[in-house]
Amino acid sequence: MLNSVETFQISLIYFNLNLYDMNKDFLNIEQAAEYLGVSKQTLYRLAGERKIVSYKPQRILYFKQEDLKDYILRSKREILDYHNSY
């Protein structure tokens, strides 16, 4: 049987492992802004306007890299062909 200190230590290890897994999957606001090449303020605005997917547990914004890639892909601009427009 584990005593309370051992139980606490095991809980702390489990918690830290979960944080490690989350940090591999999610980017914070600074990392996501750097990834997109925008300011934190711009990223806060995009998230607030629901133009980019974000996750907000306990008042902290997180982003998945795959969602950031999707945002970039949705912003695709078509090529204009000036030779065939006449």
Tokens of 53: 């997917």
- How many C-beta neighbours within 10 Å does residue 63 have? 23
Among candidates 81, 55, 85, which has minimal Cα distance to 68?
Answer: 55
The residue extents of the domains of the chain are 28-75
- The model's pLDDT over 1-38, given as tens digits with 9 standing for 90+, comes to 667 777 766 665 655 545 545 567 899 999 999 999 99
Query: Amino acid identity, residue 56?
Result: K
Alpha helix (H) residue ranges in 1-86: 4-25, 29-36, 40-48, 65-74
Tokens of 75: 């912003």
Average pLDDT, the chain: 83
CA distance 11 to 54: 28
- Please report which confidence band the pLDDT of residue 44 belongs to, taking 50, 70 and 90 as the band edges: very high
